A and B are shown apart, each in its own frame.
Chain A
Amino acid sequence: MDFPEGLRYTRQHEWIRDDGANVYTVGITEHATGQLGDVTYVELPEVGMELDQGKAAGAVESVKAASDVYAPIGGHVSEVNGELESRPELVNQSPYDEGWFFKIADGNLRDFNKLMDAKAYALYVEGLDE
Protein backbone atom coordinates (compact mmCIF):
# COMPACT_ATOMS: atom_id res chain seq x y z
CA MET A 1 0.00 0.00 0.00
CA ASP A 2 1.19 3.49 -0.82
CA PHE A 3 1.66 6.11 1.93
CA PRO A 4 3.67 8.91 0.31
CA GLU A 5 6.54 10.49 2.22
CA GLY A 6 6.09 14.15 3.07
CA LEU A 7 2.40 13.83 3.93
CA ARG A 8 1.06 13.65 7.47
CA TYR A 9 -1.61 11.16 8.53
CA THR A 10 -4.40 10.80 11.11
CA ARG A 11 -5.75 7.79 12.99
CA GLN A 12 -9.02 8.27 11.05
CA HIS A 13 -7.07 7.74 7.82
CA GLU A 14 -6.99 11.27 6.43
CA TRP A 15 -3.79 12.54 4.83
CA ILE A 16 -2.72 16.21 4.81
CA ARG A 17 -0.09 17.95 2.73
CA ASP A 18 1.64 21.26 3.47
CA ASP A 19 1.33 23.25 0.22
CA GLY A 20 3.22 26.23 1.67
CA ALA A 21 1.88 29.74 2.38
CA ASN A 22 -0.08 28.20 5.28
CA VAL A 23 -2.35 26.19 2.96
CA TYR A 24 -2.88 22.45 3.40
CA THR A 25 -4.60 19.83 1.20
CA VAL A 26 -6.63 17.00 2.77
CA GLY A 27 -7.81 13.62 1.45
CA ILE A 28 -8.25 10.04 2.62
CA THR A 29 -5.55 7.38 2.45
CA GLU A 30 -5.30 4.37 0.21
CA HIS A 31 -5.89 2.22 3.29
CA ALA A 32 -9.22 4.02 3.81
CA THR A 33 -10.30 3.60 0.19
CA GLY A 34 -9.37 -0.07 0.37
CA GLN A 35 -11.59 -0.51 3.42
CA LEU A 36 -14.49 1.42 1.86
CA GLY A 37 -14.39 -0.13 -1.61
CA ASP A 38 -15.91 1.81 -4.51
CA VAL A 39 -16.65 5.37 -3.37
CA THR A 40 -20.09 6.48 -4.56
CA TYR A 41 -20.65 9.81 -2.79
CA VAL A 42 -18.56 12.52 -1.19
CA GLU A 43 -19.89 15.30 1.02
CA LEU A 44 -17.58 18.30 1.11
CA PRO A 45 -17.52 21.21 3.56
CA GLU A 46 -18.57 24.71 2.51
CA VAL A 47 -15.80 27.05 1.44
CA GLY A 48 -15.13 29.44 4.32
CA MET A 49 -16.27 27.00 7.00
CA GLU A 50 -14.24 27.11 10.23
CA LEU A 51 -12.71 23.75 11.09
CA ASP A 52 -11.72 22.43 14.50
CA GLN A 53 -9.11 19.72 14.62
CA GLY A 54 -10.74 16.27 14.82
CA LYS A 55 -14.27 17.50 14.04
CA ALA A 56 -16.28 16.19 11.09
CA ALA A 57 -15.66 18.21 7.92
CA GLY A 58 -17.41 15.98 5.40
CA ALA A 59 -18.36 12.42 4.65
CA VAL A 60 -17.56 9.66 2.25
CA GLU A 61 -19.83 6.81 1.20
CA SER A 62 -19.24 3.60 -0.69
CA VAL A 63 -21.60 0.85 -1.73
CA LYS A 64 -20.76 -0.90 1.53
CA ALA A 65 -20.31 1.83 4.12
CA ALA A 66 -20.46 5.49 5.10
CA SER A 67 -18.02 7.40 7.27
CA ASP A 68 -17.20 10.94 8.33
CA VAL A 69 -14.09 12.76 7.21
CA TYR A 70 -12.42 14.74 9.99
CA ALA A 71 -10.35 17.90 9.90
CA PRO A 72 -6.73 16.85 10.56
CA ILE A 73 -5.92 20.37 11.79
CA GLY A 74 -7.82 23.55 12.64
CA GLY A 75 -8.22 26.37 10.10
CA HIS A 76 -10.79 27.32 7.53
CA VAL A 77 -11.84 25.76 4.23
CA SER A 78 -10.37 27.67 1.30
CA GLU A 79 -11.25 25.35 -1.58
CA VAL A 80 -13.06 22.06 -2.20
CA ASN A 81 -12.68 19.45 -4.94
CA GLY A 82 -16.03 19.90 -6.69
CA GLU A 83 -15.02 17.30 -9.28
CA LEU A 84 -15.77 14.59 -6.68
CA GLU A 85 -19.49 15.35 -6.82
CA SER A 86 -19.79 13.86 -10.30
CA ARG A 87 -16.70 11.62 -10.19
CA PRO A 88 -16.38 10.15 -6.68
CA GLU A 89 -14.42 7.25 -8.21
CA LEU A 90 -11.40 9.60 -8.31
CA VAL A 91 -11.02 8.92 -4.58
CA ASN A 92 -10.29 5.27 -5.38
CA GLN A 93 -8.30 5.89 -8.53
CA SER A 94 -6.08 8.67 -7.24
CA PRO A 95 -6.38 9.08 -3.46
CA TYR A 96 -3.35 11.39 -3.06
CA ASP A 97 -3.80 13.51 -6.18
CA GLU A 98 -7.05 13.94 -8.13
CA GLY A 99 -9.05 12.48 -5.24
CA TRP A 100 -8.23 15.27 -2.75
CA PHE A 101 -11.20 16.54 -0.66
CA PHE A 102 -10.55 20.13 0.50
CA LYS A 103 -7.90 22.71 1.31
CA ILE A 104 -7.37 24.40 4.67
CA ALA A 105 -6.06 27.97 4.88
CA ASP A 106 -4.62 29.53 8.04
CA GLY A 107 -3.87 26.00 9.15
CA ASN A 108 -2.38 25.34 12.53
CA LEU A 109 1.23 24.32 11.87
CA ARG A 110 1.74 23.01 15.40
CA ASP A 111 -1.22 20.59 14.94
CA PHE A 112 0.25 19.56 11.61
CA ASN A 113 3.66 18.75 13.03
CA LYS A 114 2.13 16.50 15.69
CA LEU A 115 0.46 14.20 13.14
CA MET A 116 1.98 10.87 12.07
CA ASP A 117 4.49 10.81 9.25
CA ALA A 118 4.39 8.12 6.55
CA LYS A 119 6.48 5.66 8.53
CA ALA A 120 4.45 6.03 11.72
CA TYR A 121 1.18 5.73 9.82
CA ALA A 122 2.35 2.57 8.00
CA LEU A 123 3.13 1.02 11.40
CA TYR A 124 -0.23 2.16 12.74
CA VAL A 125 -2.10 0.56 9.80
CA GLU A 126 -0.07 -2.63 10.17
CA GLY A 127 -1.16 -2.81 13.80
CA LEU A 128 -4.83 -2.50 12.78
CA ASP A 129 -4.61 -5.47 10.44
CA GLU A 130 -3.47 -7.82 13.18
Chain B
Amino acid sequence: MRQTPLFDEHRALGGKIVDFTGWALPVQFAGILNEHEHTRAKASLFDCSHMGEFCIKGERGIQAYDALVTMNAAGLAVGRARYGFLLTEGGGIIDDLVAMRVAEDELFVVTNAGPLERVATLFAGRVPGLRDVSDETAKIDIQGPLSREILVRIGLPVASDLRYFGLFRAEWEGHTLLVSRTGYTGELGYELFMPNDLAVHLWRTLLRHPDVAPAGLGARDTLRLEMGYSLSGQDFDDTRSPLEASQEAFVDWSKEFTGRAALEKQRERGAFSVLTAIRADSRRAPRHGFEVYKEDDAVGLVTSGTYGPSVGCGIGLAYLPQELAKPGTALATGPRRFEIETTQLPFYRNGTCRN
Protein backbone atom coordinates (compact mmCIF):
# COMPACT_ATOMS: atom_id res chain seq x y z
CA MET B 1 0.00 0.00 0.00
CA ARG B 2 1.15 3.56 -0.66
CA GLN B 3 1.58 5.90 2.28
CA THR B 4 0.81 9.60 2.50
CA PRO B 5 3.26 12.00 4.21
CA LEU B 6 0.99 11.76 7.29
CA PHE B 7 1.08 7.97 7.66
CA ASP B 8 3.26 7.99 10.80
CA GLU B 9 1.02 10.66 12.35
CA HIS B 10 -2.04 8.44 11.86
CA ARG B 11 -0.30 5.49 13.49
CA ALA B 12 0.87 7.62 16.42
CA LEU B 13 -2.70 8.91 16.93
CA GLY B 14 -4.09 5.37 17.06
CA GLY B 15 -5.66 5.43 13.61
CA LYS B 16 -7.00 2.12 12.34
CA ILE B 17 -5.34 1.75 8.93
CA VAL B 18 -7.15 0.25 5.93
CA ASP B 19 -6.49 -0.13 2.20
CA PHE B 20 -8.36 2.56 0.27
CA THR B 21 -7.76 2.18 -3.49
CA GLY B 22 -4.19 1.13 -2.81
CA TRP B 23 -3.46 3.74 -0.12
CA ALA B 24 -2.91 3.05 3.59
CA LEU B 25 -5.33 5.47 5.24
CA PRO B 26 -7.03 5.70 8.65
CA VAL B 27 -10.66 4.55 8.72
CA GLN B 28 -11.12 5.85 12.27
CA PHE B 29 -9.37 7.27 15.32
CA ALA B 30 -11.69 7.83 18.31
CA GLY B 31 -14.60 6.07 16.55
CA ILE B 32 -16.75 6.93 13.56
CA LEU B 33 -19.73 8.33 15.50
CA ASN B 34 -17.49 10.42 17.72
CA GLU B 35 -15.58 11.86 14.73
CA HIS B 36 -18.83 12.49 12.87
CA GLU B 37 -20.33 14.49 15.76
CA HIS B 38 -17.07 16.34 16.31
CA THR B 39 -17.04 17.48 12.67
CA ARG B 40 -20.64 18.74 12.85
CA ALA B 41 -19.96 20.57 16.15
CA LYS B 42 -16.34 21.74 16.03
CA ALA B 43 -13.65 20.90 13.43
CA SER B 44 -11.91 17.76 12.17
CA LEU B 45 -8.85 17.08 10.06
CA PHE B 46 -8.92 14.63 7.16
CA ASP B 47 -5.82 13.45 5.33
CA CYS B 48 -6.73 13.51 1.64
CA SER B 49 -3.16 13.39 0.33
CA HIS B 50 -4.01 10.31 -1.74
CA MET B 51 -6.11 12.41 -4.12
CA GLY B 52 -4.84 13.53 -7.52
CA GLU B 53 -3.91 17.08 -8.50
CA PHE B 54 -2.96 18.66 -11.81
CA CYS B 55 -1.56 22.09 -12.65
CA ILE B 56 -2.51 23.55 -16.04
CA LYS B 57 -0.54 26.61 -17.16
CA GLY B 58 -1.48 28.81 -20.08
CA GLU B 59 -4.61 29.69 -22.03
CA ARG B 60 -4.21 26.86 -24.57
CA GLY B 61 -4.10 24.27 -21.81
CA ILE B 62 -7.10 25.76 -20.03
CA GLN B 63 -9.12 25.73 -23.27
CA ALA B 64 -8.06 22.15 -24.02
CA TYR B 65 -9.07 21.01 -20.54
CA ASP B 66 -12.35 22.87 -20.79
CA ALA B 67 -13.18 21.02 -24.03
CA LEU B 68 -12.91 17.67 -22.21
CA VAL B 69 -14.94 18.20 -19.01
CA THR B 70 -18.60 18.95 -18.25
CA MET B 71 -18.03 22.09 -16.17
CA ASN B 72 -17.21 25.49 -17.63
CA ALA B 73 -13.60 25.79 -16.52
CA ALA B 74 -12.48 28.37 -19.07
CA GLY B 75 -15.15 30.75 -17.83
CA LEU B 76 -14.14 30.49 -14.17
CA ALA B 77 -13.21 33.75 -12.46
CA VAL B 78 -9.86 33.84 -10.69
CA GLY B 79 -10.39 32.61 -7.13
CA ARG B 80 -13.39 30.42 -7.95
CA ALA B 81 -13.86 26.64 -8.30
CA ARG B 82 -16.36 24.40 -10.10
CA TYR B 83 -17.34 20.76 -9.80
CA GLY B 84 -17.85 18.56 -12.86
CA PHE B 85 -17.06 15.33 -14.67
CA LEU B 86 -14.71 13.72 -17.14
CA LEU B 87 -16.71 11.34 -19.32
CA THR B 88 -16.06 8.57 -21.82
CA GLU B 89 -17.25 9.08 -25.40
CA GLY B 90 -20.22 6.94 -24.34
CA GLY B 91 -21.10 9.39 -21.56
CA GLY B 92 -19.94 7.23 -18.63
CA ILE B 93 -18.25 8.96 -15.70
CA ILE B 94 -14.49 8.32 -15.54
CA ASP B 95 -14.16 10.60 -12.52
CA ASP B 96 -15.55 13.70 -10.87
CA LEU B 97 -13.23 16.66 -10.47
CA VAL B 98 -12.98 20.18 -9.13
CA ALA B 99 -11.37 22.85 -11.29
CA MET B 100 -9.92 25.86 -9.47
CA ARG B 101 -8.86 29.05 -11.21
CA VAL B 102 -5.83 29.99 -9.13
CA ALA B 103 -4.60 32.66 -11.56
CA GLU B 104 -5.59 34.16 -14.90
CA ASP B 105 -3.37 31.68 -16.73
CA GLU B 106 -3.50 28.76 -14.30
CA LEU B 107 -5.95 26.03 -13.35
CA PHE B 108 -5.56 23.60 -10.47
CA VAL B 109 -7.57 20.39 -10.90
CA VAL B 110 -8.41 17.94 -8.12
CA THR B 111 -9.35 14.32 -8.89
CA ASN B 112 -9.75 11.03 -7.03
CA ALA B 113 -7.07 8.46 -6.28
CA GLY B 114 -8.81 5.45 -7.85
CA PRO B 115 -9.05 6.52 -11.51
CA LEU B 116 -5.97 8.79 -11.35
CA GLU B 117 -3.82 6.85 -13.80
CA ARG B 118 -6.60 6.72 -16.36
CA VAL B 119 -7.34 10.43 -15.95
CA ALA B 120 -3.65 11.35 -16.13
CA THR B 121 -3.17 9.34 -19.33
CA LEU B 122 -6.21 10.93 -20.90
CA PHE B 123 -5.08 14.47 -20.04
CA ALA B 124 -1.42 13.91 -20.92
CA GLY B 125 -1.89 13.73 -24.68
CA ARG B 126 -4.52 16.44 -24.92
CA VAL B 127 -3.86 19.23 -22.45
CA PRO B 128 -0.73 21.34 -23.17
CA GLY B 129 0.99 22.90 -20.15
CA LEU B 130 -0.33 20.18 -17.83
CA ARG B 131 1.69 18.82 -14.93
CA ASP B 132 0.59 15.95 -12.66
CA VAL B 133 1.53 17.21 -9.18
CA SER B 134 -0.20 14.40 -7.26
CA ASP B 135 3.00 12.85 -5.94
CA GLU B 136 4.40 16.10 -4.57
CA THR B 137 1.14 17.51 -3.15
CA ALA B 138 -0.34 16.79 0.26
CA LYS B 139 -3.93 17.70 1.07
CA ILE B 140 -5.44 18.28 4.50
CA ASP B 141 -9.13 19.07 4.82
CA ILE B 142 -10.30 20.97 7.87
CA GLN B 143 -14.06 20.66 8.18
CA GLY B 144 -16.49 21.92 10.80
CA PRO B 145 -18.13 25.17 11.93
CA LEU B 146 -15.01 26.31 13.81
CA SER B 147 -12.67 25.77 10.81
CA ARG B 148 -12.24 29.41 9.89
CA GLU B 149 -11.38 30.72 13.34
CA ILE B 150 -8.91 27.86 13.82
CA LEU B 151 -7.09 28.65 10.55
CA VAL B 152 -6.94 32.33 11.49
CA ARG B 153 -5.59 31.33 14.91
CA ILE B 154 -2.63 29.43 13.40
CA GLY B 155 -1.81 32.36 11.12
CA LEU B 156 -3.66 31.45 7.93
CA PRO B 157 -5.61 34.59 7.08
CA VAL B 158 -8.93 33.26 5.78
CA ALA B 159 -11.30 36.14 5.05
CA SER B 160 -14.80 35.71 6.44
CA ASP B 161 -16.19 36.79 3.06
CA LEU B 162 -14.44 33.99 1.14
CA ARG B 163 -17.50 32.28 -0.32
CA TYR B 164 -18.27 28.59 -0.77
CA PHE B 165 -16.12 27.35 -3.71
CA GLY B 166 -13.82 30.37 -3.37
CA LEU B 167 -10.04 29.95 -3.05
CA PHE B 168 -6.75 31.78 -2.66
CA ARG B 169 -3.01 31.24 -2.34
CA ALA B 170 -1.67 31.87 1.14
CA GLU B 171 1.80 32.14 2.64
CA TRP B 172 2.33 30.19 5.84
CA GLU B 173 5.66 29.77 7.61
CA GLY B 174 7.60 30.37 4.41
CA HIS B 175 5.53 28.06 2.21
CA THR B 176 2.78 28.66 -0.32
CA LEU B 177 -0.51 26.86 0.25
CA LEU B 178 -3.65 26.72 -1.81
CA VAL B 179 -6.72 27.20 0.38
CA SER B 180 -10.18 26.49 -1.03
CA ARG B 181 -13.47 26.76 0.78
CA THR B 182 -14.70 23.36 -0.31
CA GLY B 183 -15.17 19.97 1.28
CA TYR B 184 -17.11 16.76 1.51
CA THR B 185 -18.97 17.04 4.81
CA GLY B 186 -21.60 19.76 4.45
CA GLU B 187 -19.90 21.87 7.10
CA LEU B 188 -17.93 25.08 6.78
CA GLY B 189 -14.46 23.92 5.84
CA TYR B 190 -11.37 24.30 3.76
CA GLU B 191 -9.16 22.08 1.66
CA LEU B 192 -5.47 22.89 2.10
CA PHE B 193 -3.05 21.89 -0.67
CA MET B 194 0.67 22.02 0.12
CA PRO B 195 4.07 20.53 -0.66
CA ASN B 196 4.51 17.09 0.96
CA ASP B 197 7.21 18.24 3.35
CA LEU B 198 4.93 20.80 4.98
CA ALA B 199 2.12 18.33 5.79
CA VAL B 200 3.35 17.00 9.14
CA HIS B 201 4.10 20.47 10.51
CA LEU B 202 0.71 21.87 9.48
CA TRP B 203 -1.15 18.78 10.72
CA ARG B 204 0.52 18.98 14.13
CA THR B 205 0.01 22.74 14.38
CA LEU B 206 -3.72 22.37 13.71
CA LEU B 207 -4.07 19.46 16.14
CA ARG B 208 -2.64 21.59 18.95
CA HIS B 209 -5.91 23.54 18.93
CA PRO B 210 -8.22 22.00 21.57
CA ASP B 211 -11.25 21.98 19.25
CA VAL B 212 -9.49 20.05 16.47
CA ALA B 213 -9.47 16.24 16.22
CA PRO B 214 -8.39 13.85 13.47
CA ALA B 215 -11.08 11.97 11.53
CA GLY B 216 -10.90 8.99 9.21
CA LEU B 217 -12.53 7.61 6.09
CA GLY B 218 -15.44 6.20 8.11
CA ALA B 219 -16.68 9.59 9.33
CA ARG B 220 -15.90 11.11 5.93
CA ASP B 221 -18.33 8.60 4.44
CA THR B 222 -21.20 9.15 6.92
CA LEU B 223 -20.77 12.94 6.68
CA ARG B 224 -20.80 13.03 2.88
CA LEU B 225 -23.72 10.63 2.62
CA GLU B 226 -25.87 12.71 4.98
CA MET B 227 -25.38 15.51 2.42
CA GLY B 228 -26.11 13.15 -0.49
CA TYR B 229 -22.68 13.72 -2.05
CA SER B 230 -21.78 10.91 -4.43
CA LEU B 231 -18.59 8.88 -4.15
CA SER B 232 -16.77 8.34 -7.45
CA GLY B 233 -16.26 4.64 -8.17
CA GLN B 234 -19.07 3.66 -5.81
CA ASP B 235 -22.16 5.74 -6.64
CA PHE B 236 -21.11 6.11 -10.25
CA ASP B 237 -18.43 4.79 -12.58
CA ASP B 238 -17.93 4.65 -16.34
CA THR B 239 -21.12 2.62 -16.75
CA ARG B 240 -23.23 5.54 -15.45
CA SER B 241 -23.73 8.96 -16.99
CA PRO B 242 -24.22 12.22 -15.07
CA LEU B 243 -27.91 12.05 -16.03
CA GLU B 244 -28.26 8.65 -14.38
CA ALA B 245 -26.20 9.83 -11.41
CA SER B 246 -28.64 12.78 -10.96
CA GLN B 247 -25.82 15.25 -11.60
CA GLU B 248 -27.12 17.20 -14.59
CA ALA B 249 -26.63 20.42 -12.61
CA PHE B 250 -22.90 19.93 -13.15
CA VAL B 251 -23.17 19.51 -16.92
CA ASP B 252 -22.81 22.78 -18.83
CA TRP B 253 -24.79 22.27 -22.03
CA SER B 254 -23.56 25.59 -23.47
CA LYS B 255 -20.14 24.12 -24.26
CA GLU B 256 -18.40 21.10 -25.73
CA PHE B 257 -17.22 18.16 -23.61
CA THR B 258 -16.29 14.54 -24.21
CA GLY B 259 -19.39 12.36 -24.22
CA ARG B 260 -21.79 15.16 -25.08
CA ALA B 261 -23.39 13.40 -28.06
CA ALA B 262 -24.06 10.29 -25.97
CA LEU B 263 -25.63 12.36 -23.18
CA GLU B 264 -27.88 14.18 -25.63
CA LYS B 265 -29.06 10.87 -27.02
CA GLN B 266 -29.71 9.48 -23.55
CA ARG B 267 -31.63 12.59 -22.52
CA GLU B 268 -33.80 12.31 -25.60
CA ARG B 269 -34.47 8.60 -25.12
CA GLY B 270 -35.24 8.92 -21.40
CA ALA B 271 -36.22 5.74 -19.54
CA PHE B 272 -33.00 5.36 -17.55
CA SER B 273 -32.66 4.73 -13.82
CA VAL B 274 -31.56 7.63 -11.65
CA LEU B 275 -29.60 7.84 -8.42
CA THR B 276 -32.19 8.51 -5.73
CA ALA B 277 -32.14 9.31 -2.03
CA ILE B 278 -33.66 6.60 0.19
CA ARG B 279 -34.39 6.66 3.90
CA ALA B 280 -35.34 3.90 6.35
CA ASP B 281 -37.96 4.46 9.04
CA SER B 282 -35.59 2.87 11.56
CA ARG B 283 -31.91 2.88 12.42
CA ARG B 284 -31.45 -0.03 10.03
CA ALA B 285 -29.00 0.89 7.25
CA PRO B 286 -29.33 0.17 3.55
CA ARG B 287 -25.97 -1.21 2.37
CA HIS B 288 -23.94 -1.03 -0.82
CA GLY B 289 -25.13 -3.84 -3.11
CA PHE B 290 -28.60 -4.29 -1.56
CA GLU B 291 -31.44 -4.82 -4.04
CA VAL B 292 -34.42 -2.48 -3.82
CA TYR B 293 -37.90 -4.01 -4.08
CA LYS B 294 -41.29 -2.69 -5.12
CA GLU B 295 -43.62 -5.28 -3.70
CA ASP B 296 -41.98 -8.52 -4.95
CA ASP B 297 -40.03 -7.08 -7.86
CA ALA B 298 -36.37 -6.11 -7.69
CA VAL B 299 -36.38 -2.59 -9.16
CA GLY B 300 -33.00 -1.13 -8.23
CA LEU B 301 -29.69 -1.25 -6.46
CA VAL B 302 -28.24 0.56 -3.45
CA THR B 303 -24.82 2.09 -4.13
CA SER B 304 -24.19 3.73 -0.74
CA GLY B 305 -25.87 3.30 2.61
CA THR B 306 -25.26 3.87 6.28
CA TYR B 307 -26.83 4.85 9.53
CA GLY B 308 -26.92 8.65 9.49
CA PRO B 309 -25.71 9.74 12.93
CA SER B 310 -27.07 13.30 12.61
CA VAL B 311 -30.43 12.25 11.15
CA GLY B 312 -31.02 9.19 13.34
CA CYS B 313 -32.07 6.73 10.67
CA GLY B 314 -30.75 4.58 7.85
CA ILE B 315 -29.99 6.54 4.66
CA GLY B 316 -28.66 5.72 1.23
CA LEU B 317 -28.47 6.26 -2.50
CA ALA B 318 -30.00 3.81 -4.99
CA TYR B 319 -30.51 3.59 -8.74
CA LEU B 320 -34.26 3.46 -9.36
CA PRO B 321 -36.50 3.77 -12.42
CA GLN B 322 -37.59 7.41 -12.78
CA GLU B 323 -41.25 6.62 -12.05
CA LEU B 324 -40.24 5.26 -8.62
CA ALA B 325 -37.74 8.04 -7.88
CA LYS B 326 -40.23 10.70 -6.90
CA PRO B 327 -40.08 11.48 -3.18
CA GLY B 328 -42.37 9.50 -0.92
CA THR B 329 -42.39 6.21 -2.85
CA ALA B 330 -42.65 3.25 -0.46
CA LEU B 331 -40.11 0.50 -1.20
CA ALA B 332 -38.10 -2.18 0.62
CA THR B 333 -34.46 -3.22 0.59
CA GLY B 334 -31.99 -5.86 1.70
CA PRO B 335 -32.25 -9.61 2.26
CA ARG B 336 -34.81 -8.93 5.02
CA ARG B 337 -36.68 -6.42 2.89
CA PHE B 338 -37.07 -3.69 5.47
CA GLU B 339 -39.11 -0.63 4.55
CA ILE B 340 -37.59 2.43 2.95
CA GLU B 341 -38.96 5.51 1.28
CA THR B 342 -37.54 7.72 -1.45
CA THR B 343 -36.82 11.25 -0.32
CA GLN B 344 -35.03 14.47 -1.24
CA LEU B 345 -31.43 15.49 -0.64
CA PRO B 346 -29.79 16.48 1.53
CA PHE B 347 -30.72 14.18 4.39
CA TYR B 348 -29.03 16.56 6.81
CA ARG B 349 -30.21 20.16 6.49
CA ASN B 350 -28.29 22.03 9.17
CA GLY B 351 -24.85 21.98 7.51
CA THR B 352 -22.78 25.15 7.76
CA CYS B 353 -20.94 24.91 4.42
CA ARG B 354 -22.79 27.85 2.88
CA ASN B 355 -23.09 30.01 6.00
* Cα distance, A61 to B34, chains bound together (Å): 17
Which residues of B have CB within 8 Å of A54?
none
Which residues of A have CB within 8 Å of B33?
38, 40, 63, 89
* Cα distance, A66 to B284, chains bound together (Å): 9
Q: How far is the CB of A87 from chain B (nearest CB, A)?
A: 11
- Contact residues of B between 273 and 297, Cβ < 8 Å to A: 282-285, 287
* Cα distance, A17 to B33, chains bound together (Å): 30
Q: B interface, how many residues as a size bin? A: 10 to 19
- Residue in A37, A61, A64 whose CB lies within 8 Å of B284: A61
- Contact residues of A between 32 and 57, Cβ < 8 Å to B: 37-38, 40-41, 43
Known: A61-B307, A63-B218. A37 touches B282 (CB 8 A): no
Interface string of A106-128 (1 = CB under 8 A from B): 00000000000000000000000
Give the number of A-B contacts (CB < 8 Å): 39
Contact in complex: A64, B287 (CB < 8 Å) = no
The secondary structure that dominates the B interface is mixed
- Residue in A40, A66, A88 whose CB lies within 8 Å of B287: A66
Contact in complex: B307, A64 (CB < 8 Å) = no
Which residues of B have CB within 8 Å of A61?
283-285, 307
Known: A66-B285, A88-B283. A40 touches B307 (CB 8 A): yes
Contact in complex: A64, B32 (CB < 8 Å) = yes
Q: How far is the CB of B310 from chain A (nearest CB, A)?
A: 12
- Residue in A37, A41, A59, A88 whose CB lies within 8 Å of B31: A37
Known: A61-B284, A66-B287. A41 touches B218 (CB 8 A): no
- Residue in B27, B28, B283 whose CB lies within 8 Å of A41: B283
Contact in complex: A63, B222 (CB < 8 Å) = yes
Besides the contacts A37-B28, A37-B218, A38-B34, what 18 more A-B pairs have beta carbons closer than 8 Å?
A37-B31, A38-B32, A38-B33, A40-B33, A40-B283, A40-B307, A40-B309, A41-B282, A41-B284, A41-B285, A41-B314, A43-B284, A61-B283, A63-B306, A64-B218, A66-B285, A66-B287, A89-B33
